[in-house]
Amino acid sequence: MEIDKIIIPSSCYNEIVEHGKSNLPYEVCGLLSGNNNKVQSVWKLKNEIKSDRRFFVGKKIIEETLLQMAKHKEKVIAIYHSHPTTAAIPSSYDIANHLNLDVIMIIISYKTNNPKVKCYRVQTGTYKTFPFSIEPTS
């Protein structure tokens, strides 16, 4: 199903921003899952190369995480990663290595004091910003 916007509960939003912040100066990444366009769970992944510019997660870990999601009756919606020192714009490496074109890319930038979060729809060789909203959680 083609979606035109994703909804992120504020608890999940805070969790991914905190995940990136607590691992500075290294990059982090993870997956967001849920149903349709609504995020329900955050899956933090281990960066298999400790780097401030790149992340790498092996196929095995991704596959295991997707299996866990399926057990929770959820599907992958987005993949997120952090940019410790650069703007929240996909690099050519990010675009070339994107998981799957149906999966939304989220980048959290810590370039400035206030972390910036951006969502993108990646297309072959390019990308465009993708709308998201943060839903208050009690």
Contacts to Zn ion by CB under 5 A = 91, 94
Cα separation, 37 vs 39, whole angstroms: 7
> What are phi and psi for residue 63, nearest 5 degrees?
-60, -40
- How far apart are CB 118 and Zn ion at their closest, in Å? 11
Nearest residue to Zn ion, scored by beta-carbon proximity: 94
- How far apart are CB 91 and Zn ion at their closest, in Å? 5
Q: Residue 77's closest CA among 34, 138, 120?
A: 34
β-bridge mates for residue 81, sequence order: 29, 107
Cα separation, 106 vs 29, whole angstroms: 9
Given the complex with Zn ion, which of 74 and 94 has the nearer CB atom? 94
Given the complex with Zn ion, which of 91 and 129 has the nearer CB atom? 91
- Prior bond to 131 cis, omega within 30? no
Phi-psi map region of 125: left, alpha, beta (phi>0 left; psi -120 to 50 alpha): left
- How far apart are CB 36 and Zn ion at their closest, in Å? 26
Given the complex with Zn ion, which of 36 and 51 has the nearer CB atom? 51
- How far apart are CB 82 and Zn ion at their closest, in Å? 8
Given the complex with Zn ion, which of 29 and 76 has the nearer CB atom? 29
